[in-house]
């Protein structure tokens, strides 16, 4: 069975999604989960973008032992030097160089002729070869590059000793037939192409990223690049879980497979969704909440008789379970621990005690606590961020003919207690103004969203906020059966993350650079 390598760029291209800003701890947490998933290659970031990004790539390189760690660089010596510094502690480092090659990019972005593009790319590869044994080269917007010139670029890269040539459909423009034909032509015409691996990197602007990646595999691609949940620039990237499950489910057709530990897919998806603040649509293939749900009576009847009538993938394959252990206020600590182990969390005594206390609080408010409830509570408590401020209490006075007033009680990192009140246009506005006064932070709220984590009138509510201060954007998340409490928790969480970001960003750039 032919092996298809998977190159995960969740931490680089995925983080370029609008509103996403991962701190170093979060990047490491995702990278370690990608390692459990058995991802072959992990692109940890773009070291030249900022000192913070360089430090994050270095942290991932130090933490991950069983995957190739990749750093992105433009075809510039200073970018290559930054990547060299960031990857110096990696067990298996790889440099990812890129330069645009399409007519529109040559004319409007680079202002270069074809010969200049070839010379610039070749000089960058030769410089990088002094420091890296593994180099991947990407002709940015390769999908819209003249095919004969693209073959010239690939031939140049092969002659100069790169390990992988990636041909990106940077703007998601191509059809599967067109994209597959590029790989077929390159395979047939470029001398020495058998010495390297060919890689596919697709975007989903026309909804064909996964189809294009699979077409590339059918035409000789050895590697597919993408992200977990398909996040990324604009409409996103190829969803790697979709490629992996397509190959696993249709081995008879593709005659290829990945090395992923498929049972880690669901947990990886949930982690990426939680830390990026990007919810997975219910109808998302493989990992959406409805992927294994059946409402139609005909479907339900069929599944009850034989699951394969309407399910081509078993939920257990990606790490989900059919059966559920019902948890409620009468459940004991032992049952709670076993449930957590079943869900993939083996907590220490201190963390277990905190989690069990929160579970009991929730169980007193809800008749039945679902797996999703437990996961939401645990994941909120396990998020790694220094708590400079802890929300201890909120009180809100509201009437439809009176001005809302909120009072908050917040404990600082030094142990001081601050109590502040404020009025606003609504309950949430008054809470946030009171928190601003208590923390003495001036921030701009740019996004606020609410979703129900579980079903029913007593469902857990999850609030997600995005705050901006001096060009730094952070996310916050709060969970509670009371949506006002969840709103307050999310806001305080975001302020704590802001303080963390201010410590790590330094004087470097915090804006994102749009890349392949």
Residue spans of the domains in the chain: they are 2-276, 292-320, 325-369, 389-505
The Cα–Cα gap between 122 and 380 comes to 48
> Going by C-beta distance under 8 Å and a sequence separation of 6 or more, which residues neighbour residue 183?
167, 198, 200, 216, 219, 220, 221
- Distances in Å between the alpha carbon of 257 and those of 5, 171, 247, 250, 455? 9, 27, 5, 9, 37
Q: Are 276 and 14 in contact (CB under 8 A)?
A: yes
Show Cβ contacts of residue 27 under 8 Å, excluding neighbours closer than 6 positions. 11, 44, 45, 56, 59, 60
Residue 389 has pLDDT above 90, yes or no: yes
Average pLDDT, the chain: 89
Distance of CA 110 to the CA centre of its chain: 30
- pLDDT grade, residue 454 (50/70/90)? low
**Per-residue pLDDT tens for 402-445?**
899 999 999 998 899 999 999 999 999 999 999 999 999 999 99
Q: For 31-49, what is the mean pLDDT?
A: 97
Phi, psi (deg, nearest 5) at residue 493: -60, -45
The mean per-residue pLDDT over the stretch 92-104 comes to 98
What Cα–Cα distance (Å) separates residue 168 from each residue in 73, 103, 241, 406?
15, 15, 19, 52
Contacts of 324 (CB under 8 A, 6+ apart): 370, 371
| Closest by CA position to 388, among listed 501, 466, 470 | 501
What is the Cα–Cα distance from 9 to 27, expressed in whole angstroms?
11
Q: Which CATH number fits domain 2-276: 3.50.50.60, 3.20.20.70, 3.40.190.10, 3.30.930.10?
A: 3.20.20.70
Q: How far is CA 395 from the centre of its chain?
A: 36
Q: Under CATH, domain 389-505 is a member of which superfamily?
A: Alpha-isopropylmalate synthase LeuA, regulatory domain (3.30.160.270)
Q: In what order do the strands lie in the sheet with 389-397?
A: 389-397, 405-412, 417-423
Q: How far is CA 333 from the centre of its chain?
A: 33
Q: Is the pTM of this model over 0.85?
A: no
Question: Is residue 101 within 8 Å of 140, Cβ to Cβ?
Answer: yes
Average pLDDT over residues 350-374: 75
Angle between helices 24-36 and 265-276 (to 10 degrees): 170
């Amino acid at each position: 069975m032919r092996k298809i390598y998977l190159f995960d760029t969740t931490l680089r291209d995925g983080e370029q999604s609008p509103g996403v800003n991962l701190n170093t701890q979060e990047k490491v947490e995702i990278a370690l989960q990608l390692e459990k998933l058995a991802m072959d290659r992990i692109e940890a970031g773009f070291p030249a973008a900022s000192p913070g990004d360089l430090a994050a790539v270095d942290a991932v390189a130090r933490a991950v032992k069983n995957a190739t760690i990749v750093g992105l660089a433009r075809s510039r010596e200073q970018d290559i030097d930054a990547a060299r510094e960031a990857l110096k502690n990696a067990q298996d480092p790889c440099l990812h160089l890129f330069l645009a090659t399409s007519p529109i990019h040559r004319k409007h972005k680079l202002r270069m002729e074809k010969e200049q593009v070839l010379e610039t790319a070749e000089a960058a590869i030769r410089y990088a070869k002094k420091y890296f044994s593994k180099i991947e080269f990407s002709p940015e917007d390769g999908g819209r590059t003249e095919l004969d010139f693209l073959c010239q670029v690939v031939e140049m890269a092969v002659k100069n000793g790169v390990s992988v040539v990636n041909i990106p459909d940077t703007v998601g423009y191509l059809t599967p037939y067109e994209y597959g034909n590029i790989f077929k032509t390159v395979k047939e015409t470029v001398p020495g192409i058998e010495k390297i691996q060919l890689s596919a990197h697709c975007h989903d602007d026309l909804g064909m990223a996964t189809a294009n990646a699979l077409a590339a595999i059918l035409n000789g691609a050895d590697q597919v690049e993408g992200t977990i949940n398909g996040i990324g620039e604009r409409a996103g990237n190829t969803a790697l879980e979709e490629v992996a499950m397509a190959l696993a489910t249709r081995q008879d057709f593709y005659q290829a497979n990945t090395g992923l530990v498929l049972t880690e897919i669901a947990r990886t998806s949930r982690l990426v969704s939680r830390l990026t603040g990007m919810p997975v649509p219910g109808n998302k293939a493989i990992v959406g909440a409805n992927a294994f749900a059946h409402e139609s009576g005909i479907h339900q009847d069929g599944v009850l008789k034989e699951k394969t009538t309407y399910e081509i993938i078993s939920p257990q394959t990606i790490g989900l379970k059919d059966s559920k252990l019902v948890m409620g206020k009468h459940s004991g600590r032992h049952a709670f621990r076993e449930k957590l182990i079943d869900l993939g969390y083996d907590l220490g005594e201190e963390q277990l005690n905190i989690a069990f206390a929160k579970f009991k609080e929730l169980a007193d408010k809800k008749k039945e606590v679902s797996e999703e409830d437990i996961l939401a509570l645990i994941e909120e408590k396990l998020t790694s961020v220094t708590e400079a401020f802890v929300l201890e209490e909120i009180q809100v006075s509201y009437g439809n003919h009176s001005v809302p007033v909120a009072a908050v009680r917040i404990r600082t990192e030094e142990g001081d207690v601050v109590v502040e009140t404020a009025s606003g246009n609504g309950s949430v506005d008054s809470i946030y103004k009171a928190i601003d006064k208590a923390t003495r932070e001036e921030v701009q709220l740019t996004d606020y969203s609410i979703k129900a984590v579980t079903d029913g009138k007593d469902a857990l509510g999850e609030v997600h906020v995005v705050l901006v201060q001096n060009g730094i954007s952070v996310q916050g998340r709060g969970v509670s059966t009371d949506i006002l409490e969840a709103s307050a928790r999310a806001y305080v969480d975001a302020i704590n993350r802001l303080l963390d970001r201010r410590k790590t960003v330094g004087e470097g750039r915090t804006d994102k650079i749009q890349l392949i």
